[in-house]
Amino acid sequence: MARISPLDPNPFDREEKVSTAKLNATQYIVALVMLVLVSGLWRLQILGADNYRVLAEQNRIRKVPVLAPRGKIFDREGRILVDNYPSVTCFLVREQQKNLEADLPLIAQGLHIPEDQIRSTIKRFALAPKYQPIPLKQDITPDEQAFIAAHRDELPELETLEEQRRLYPRDGFAAHLIGYVGEVSENDLNTSKYAFYEPGDVVGKSGVEEAYDAILRGVDGSRDVVVNSHGKEVGMMGQELAKPGQDLKLTIDLDLQMAAEKALEGKNGAIVAMDPHTGEILAMVSRPTFDPNQFAVRLTRSYWNEIITNPNHPLMNKAIQAQLAPGSTFKVIMTVAGLQENMAENMHVVCNGGVTLQGHFFGCDKHHGLVDIHNALPYSCDSFYFTLADRLGIDTIAKYGHEMGIGQKTGVDLPDEATGIMPSPQWKLKAQHDKWYAGETPSVGIGQGAVQASPIQLARALSGIASGGALVRPHVVFPDEISPDMLQAIHDTYPGSGEKKVEISPETWQIVTDDMANVTQGIGTAAEAHLEGIDFAGKTGTADVVSGRKKGTADKATLPNAWFVGMAPRRNPDIVVAVLWEHGYWGNNSAKLGAQVINAFVTKQRMRSGNLMKLADSPKPAAPSDQTPGDKPKTPAANPAGANTAALEPQRGLPRPGAGGR
């Protein structure tokens, strides 16, 4: 204890003195602290009130997506091709404050998926917002739904979502035309085409599904649900309804499609049937096919490996992507070129099994004797067209080939159409850095050499020639099904030579179409495909493969490709068919396939016309009591279903299969 001095009169009156500087400093510090606190409270409670209110709401409100059903797809008569069916998908919600790693074994066991697959899925969505659910498994079974419901308390991160999933025809029917849907991949998301998509979105991957994805997919909605601290849904705050995708009516005729599918069954190749007046695709088949239903849910590795290792390329739409030598079908274009250039009408060639040109012997399969423009096409005499090609020259041949669309995309509204090749000196210099030699030209005249075309290119070329030079743009969706802006976007996305008029004189038009009609008659290479009572014209083609033709060999891969292009009637036709049968040997084999499609089309048209005539000739029913004089009596409509069924019954009177013909 401090000692008090006796000399101090009042020791308790003494004060400790504090410097003024320290006092002022303390006051400023206290004021600054109070200012910071007040400004912080102001920022939190006044300026940031709305923001923190939203964050607080998000702690108890979850946005659940409501997926829009894709639009359905119908054929030209309104018969459904692609439908939707109800499905349930399991999602993983990452907002729950749980150790997901500890739950993975139980989740994997209950959903019957490997743990590594779940980890890979979570990793793929690592950069996605936490509130975005991760799709774990699509199309879950009732047992898996029961597992999720039974483990709701211990696995609150698992949620289910009902959605509409694609249902495609069985057995790969029209698979290449329709296409399929699948989850957008990481590589897709890195491209500008999918800039507005998010991981987990389902998009069209090929065919119509891809080309018209923007209008088929619709607009997703959402539900704002209230959840408790365990993540369990306890109420709903509101919802934004999903907008279903637009339905599409295709130009495809289901009856013709079935006939074409049946004709090509068990074979590799393609068939295209088109209306030359409008460019409407009536049927499109490619073989081998695939099952698009396998892609509608998560694709299995085993099925994917089976598809990609198949040497016949099931995913390729050969109707628009096969680029092969067209063989003698190219002689139709050669005939037009020869007549238009005034070189073929009076030309005569003696065929003794071939001709010698440019110092080389070019062989023909038969000894046709004296050949002129009127029997050269029905005989498919190589000697005549070797000579014609040599006289025309490659520049003139290339000119007419380009005018007919060879070596150019047709502009069909389907993805990944091939361009083909129409060789010329300029093409060879650019592609092979070499000059063109005259000895190469005769092979081009018979559709061999470097010429490459797709079935749809040949169908369009024949359509233009048989229609007097009017070439149209092929399409699989009616233009009035979509808006003008969408139609323009489709044309911009899938450019082609479009609609155009090629100069063909009436004389040339008549000679060419008559010669093609003789192809399916007694002297022609497709005589066995003749259709009694039908004005059926066409041209066969037998195109050697790279390895060369080996007659009598068991190695099917060395057999020639069999082509046929045909139409009915011969001039201004209502239908044109192009057939490719890979390794089908002779072109007349493909002609018999084309005849089946033509016969189905004509039979259906005749039955429909007959039904309408019967209705027109039948007595008019008496006017019902509620009708007033002058009202038009109501008559029953024709039954298209009955006509369609009859058109698809086994065809009678078709020629007996046999050998021969090019």
- At 18-41, the pLDDT tens digits run 677 777 778 778 888 888 888 877
Domain co-membership, 398 together with 471: yes
Rounded to two decimals, what is the model's pTM?
0.77
The pLDDT score that the predictor gives to residue 231 is 56
pLDDT, tens digit, for every residue of 75-101? 999 999 999 988 888 888 876 556 777
Q: Of 580, 607, 634, which one is at a domain's C-terminal end? A: 607
626 located within any domain: no
* Amino acid code (one letter) for 249: K
In a domain, 210, yes or no: yes
Do 426 and 544 fall within a single domain? yes
Quote the CA–CA distance of 268 and 434 in Å, as a whole number.
Answer: 35
Per-residue pLDDT band at 635 (split at 50, 70, 90): very low
State whether 552 and 454 are in the same domain: yes
Where residue 516 falls among pLDDT bands split at 50, 70, 90?
Answer: very high
Residues whose CB is less than 8 angstroms from the CB of residue 221 and which lie 6 or more positions away in sequence, other chains included: 65, 66, 68, 239, 240, 241, 242, 243
Strand stretches in 487-640, DSSP E: 500-501, 537-543, 561-568, 575-581
What's the structural domain count of the chain?
2
Structural domain contains residue 12: no
Is there a single domain that holds both residue 422 and residue 569? Answer: yes
Q: Is there a single domain that holds both residue 281 and residue 149?
A: no
Q: Is the pLDDT of residue 650 over 50?
A: no
**Residue 47 included in any domain:** no
pLDDT range class, residue 639, cuts 50, 70, 90 = very low
Q: Which residues contact 660 (CB under 8 A, 6 or more apart)?
A: 525, 528, 586, 588
Within this chain, do residues 452 and 508 fall inside the same structural domain, yes or no?
yes
Please indicate, yes or no, whether residues 384 and 523 belong to a single structural domain of this protein: yes
Q: Based on the domain organization, do 237 and 261 belong to the same domain?
A: no
Domain boundary among 249, 283, 302: 249
Task: For 217-253, give one letter per residue: b (16+ CB within 10 A) or e.
Answer: bbeeebbebebeeebeeeeeeeeeebebbbbbbbbbb
368-393 pLDDT per residue, tens = 999 999 999 999 999 999 999 999 99
pLDDT band at 625 (very low <50, low <70, confident <90, very high): very low
Q: Give, in order, the Cα–Cα distances in Å from 300 to each of 142, 297, 395.
A: 20, 9, 51
Please tell me the distance from the alpha carbon of residue 661 to that of residue 541, in angstroms, as a whole number. Answer: 9
For residue 512, tell me if it sits in a domain: yes
Interval 585-609: pLDDT, tens: 888 899 999 999 999 999 999 988 8
Looking at per-residue pLDDT, the higher value among 464 and 552 belongs to: 464
289 and 242 share a domain? no
Q: Is residue 615 part of a domain?
A: no
Q: List the single range of 109-113, 129-133, 247-251 with lowest mean pLDDT.
A: 129-133
Domain of residue 145, residue span: 61-249
Indicate the pLDDT class of residue 111, thresholds 50, 70 and 90.
Answer: confident
Residue 142 lies in a domain: yes
Give the residue carrying structure tokens 């601290």.
229
Taking residues 239-248, report their average pLDDT: 87
Token pair of 229 as six digits: 């601290």
Which band of pLDDT confidence, cut at 50, 70 and 90, is reported for residue 553? low
The CATH number of whichever domain residue 120 belongs to comes to: 3.90.1310.10
Q: Would 199 be classed as within a structural domain?
A: yes
User: In this structure, what CATH number is given to the domain that contains residue 354?
Assistant: 3.40.710.10
Highest mean pLDDT out of 87-101, 161-175, 330-344 = 330-344
pLDDT above 90 (res 350): yes
pLDDT in tens, 287-304: 999 999 888 776 778 888
Residue 289 and residue 204 share a domain? no
Last residue of a domain, one of 582, 607, 632: 607
Q: Kindly give, in sequence order, each residue whose CB lies less than 8 Å from that of residue 509, ignoring residues fewer than 6 positions away.
A: 465, 468, 469, 571
140, 111 contact by CB (below 8 A): yes
Let me know whether 460 and 362 are in one domain: yes
Do 179 and 287 lie in one domain? The reply is no
